[in-house]
C-alpha cells in the first residue's frame, strides 16, 4: 500500500560531520528526496598559501582527525613530486606500514562502533556491548592495536610527526618491529571474531543494488591491492589515468543542496571507498582476505553500497596479513639510518593515496624558495555525495511501503555505509562583495 512519508533528519548520527536527509512523499508519490550537506568550508587551501613546503603536511593533517595520516601522506607525496624529491625503498615500505595502521584503525572503528549497531537492531555500541560482548571486546582490542601501531610508526595516533619530504625523521627499531609483528600475528583471531559477528547479523544488510562507476587506485607494477601507489582506474574504464590528471576524473561541480563540491566521471556519479577498491582489485587480495570475502558472498561487480562495510572487514584482514609480510621484508634486509636533505625549487604536482573512505587527491604549486602559491584538494567523501543522492532516488520508491520509520532508518544506514567524513571540507571560495 502506498504511503505518505515525511522524513527530515537534521544531522545524521554515527557519521563524522553534518549531513541531512529530506524525503517527502504523498500517497505513494515521491515529491522530494535530498541528501544535504550543510558543513561550512574550512579553507585549508587558503591556509597553506605562503607557507613553506616543510609546513604543508603539519597543516593539512588537521583536515581530519581520523584520516590525518592519509592527508599527510598525500600532501608529502605531492611536495616530493613537485620538487623531484626521491624516497628510499626502506622509507617507502615504512610509510606504507604507517598507512596500513590507519586503514585498520578507521575500518574497525566504522564497522564495530558505527555500523554493527544497525545490523543488530540497536541504537548504539553501548547496548551492543551487552548483546555481543566478545565481538565488542575484539573490536576494542583491534582499535587499540591500530592506535599503538600508528604511535610507533607515525609518532602519534593522529597528526603524524615522523613524516618529512624525502623520508622519515625517525624509523622504528628492529626490536619494535618484531614486537609489532607478534601483535599482528596474534590479532588474527580477533579479526575472525569480528567477521563472524557481522556475518551472524548479515541478513539485516538491505538487499539494494544500483549499478554505478567505482573509482580507485590501481597498481600494475608489481600487481598490488594498492592503497598508496598506482594510477586512477574505474569499473567503467579499462585503462588508467595518471594521478597528476585527477581533475579530469573528478570534474568537480557545485550543487544547490550541498556546500561541498560533487564529482562525476563517466556517469552522473561515481563511488569511491573500500567497495570501489575491491571491485577494481579483488584478485590481488591476500589469501585470508579472499576467504573472508567468500564468507560473505562478496564478489567483484557488487553494486550494493551497504556491502562497503563488508569490504572494509575484508580490507582489515588484508592490511594485517600484508603488513606481516612487509615487516618480514624489512627485518630481512635490516633497517639502515637515513639522512634527508632537500633543496627546495619551483614546481607543481599532485599526490594521491587511498584514504579508508576512498581515493584522495592533493595538488600544490611552489615558488623557487619552496613557498606554496596554490593548492587544490579533493577528498573522498565529496566524491561520494552524488552517489548517495542517486542511491536515495532509486532506494526510496523501493521501500516507501515499509513506512516512515523504516525509510528513515534505511536511509541513515545507507549514508553510514559510505563511512562519510563530511566535515573534511577543504575548498576555499572566491567571494565577490557587492556594495
Which residue ranges make up the annotated binding site? 45, 64, 67, 377, 421, 424, 427
Euclidean distance between the first and final Cα of the chain, in Å? Answer: 55
Place of cell 556594495: 435
CB-CB contact of 310 with 198 (8 Å): yes
- Residues in binding site for Ni(2+): 64, 67, 421
Measured between alpha carbons, how far is 232 from 241 in angstroms, rounded to an integer? 5
What are the percentages of helix, strand and coil residues in the chain, rounded to 5? 50, 20, 30
C-alpha Rg value of the chain to the nearest Å:
22
Sign of the dihedral defined by the CA atoms of residues 317, 331, 180, 68, in that order: negative
Q: Which residues are annotated as a binding site for Mg(2+)?
A: 45, 377, 427
CA of 34: how far to CAs of 58, 236, 303, 411, in Å?
36, 26, 21, 11
DSSP state of 113: I
Rounded Cα distance between 283 and 148, Å, is: 30
Four-point Cα dihedral 248, 250, 255, 258, nearest 10:
-150
- Rounded to the nearest 5 degrees, what angle is found at the Cα of 217, between the Cα atoms of 384 and 164? 100
Integer Cα distance of 384 and 123 in angstroms: 25
Q: Give the containing element (helix H, strand E) for 350.
A: strand 347-355
Amino acid at each position: 500500500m502506498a504511503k505518505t512519508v515525511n522524513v527530515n533528519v537534521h544531522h545524521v548520527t554515527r557519521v563524522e560531520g553534518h549531513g541531512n536527509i529530506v524525503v517527502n512523499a504523498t500517497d505513494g508519490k515521491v515529491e522530494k528526496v535530498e541528501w544535504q550537506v550543510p558543513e561550512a568550508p574550512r579553507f585549508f587551501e587558503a591556509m597553506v598559501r605562503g607557507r613553506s613546503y616543510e609546513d604543508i603536511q603539519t597543516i593539512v593533517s588537521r583536515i581530519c582527525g581520523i584520516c590525518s595520516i592519509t592527508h599527510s601522506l598525500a600532501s608529502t607525496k605531492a611536495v616530493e613530486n613537485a620538487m623531484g624529491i626521491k624516497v628510499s625503498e626502506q622509507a617507502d615500505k615504512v610509510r606504507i606500514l604507517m598507512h596500513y595502521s590507519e586503514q585498520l584503525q578507521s575500518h574497525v572503528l566504522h564497522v564495530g562502533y558505527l555500523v554493527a549497531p544497525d545490523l543488530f537492531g540497536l541504537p548504539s555500541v553501548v547496548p551492543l556491548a551487552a548483546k555481543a560482548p566478545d565481538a565488542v571486546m575484539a573490536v576494542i582490542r583491534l582499535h587499540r592495536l591500530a592506535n599503538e601501531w600508528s604511535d610507533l610508526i607515525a609518532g602519534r595516533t593522529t597528526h603524524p610527526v615522523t613524516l618529512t619530504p624525502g623520508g622519515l625523521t625517525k624509523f622504528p627499531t628492529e626490536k619494535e618491529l618484531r614486537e609489532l609483528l607478534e601483535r599482528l600475528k596474534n590479532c588474527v583471531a580477533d579479526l575472525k571474531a569480528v567477521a563472524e559477528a557481522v556475518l551472524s547479523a548479515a541478513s539485516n544488510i538491505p538487499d539494494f543494488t544500483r549499478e554505478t562507476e567505482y573509482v580507485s587506485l590501481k597498481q600494475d607494477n608489481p600487481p598490488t591491492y594498492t592503497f598508496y601507489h598506482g594510477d586512477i582506474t574505474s569499473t567503467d574504464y579499462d585503462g588508467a589515468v595518471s594521478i597528476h590528471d585527477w581533475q579530469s576524473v573528478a570534474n568537480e561541480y557545485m550543487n544547490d543542496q550541498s556546500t561541498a563540491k560533487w564529482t562525476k566521471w563517466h556517469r552522473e556519479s561515481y563511488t569511491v571507498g573500500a567497495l570501489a577498491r575491491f571491485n577494481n582489485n579483488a584478485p590481488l587480495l591476500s589469501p585470508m582476505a579472499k576467504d573472508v570475502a567468500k564468507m560473505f558472498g562478496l564478489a567483484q561487480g557488487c553494486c550494493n553500497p551497504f556491502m562497503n562495510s563488508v569490504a572494509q572487514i575484508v580490507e582489515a584482514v588484508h592490511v594485517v596479513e600484508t603488513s606481516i609480510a612487509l615487516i618480514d621484508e624489512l627485518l630481512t634486509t635490516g633497517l639502515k639510518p637515513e639522512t634527508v636533505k632537500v633543496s627546495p625549487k619551483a614546481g607543481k604536482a599532485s599526490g594521491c593515496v587511498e584514504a579508508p573512505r576512498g581515493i584522495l587527491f592533493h595538488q600544490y604549486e611552489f615558488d623557487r624558495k619552496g613557498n606554496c602559491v596554490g593548492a587544490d584538494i579533493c577528498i573522498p567523501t565529496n566524491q561520494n555525495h552524488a552517489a548517495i543522492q542517486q542511491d536515495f532516488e532509486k532506494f526510496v520508491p523501493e521501500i516507501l511501503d515499509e513506512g516512515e520509520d523504516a525509510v528513515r532508518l534505511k536511509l541513515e544506514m545507507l549514508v553510514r555505509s559510505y563511512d562519510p567524513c563530511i566535515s573534511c571540507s577543504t575548498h576555499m571560495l572566491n567571494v565577490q562583495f557587492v556594495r
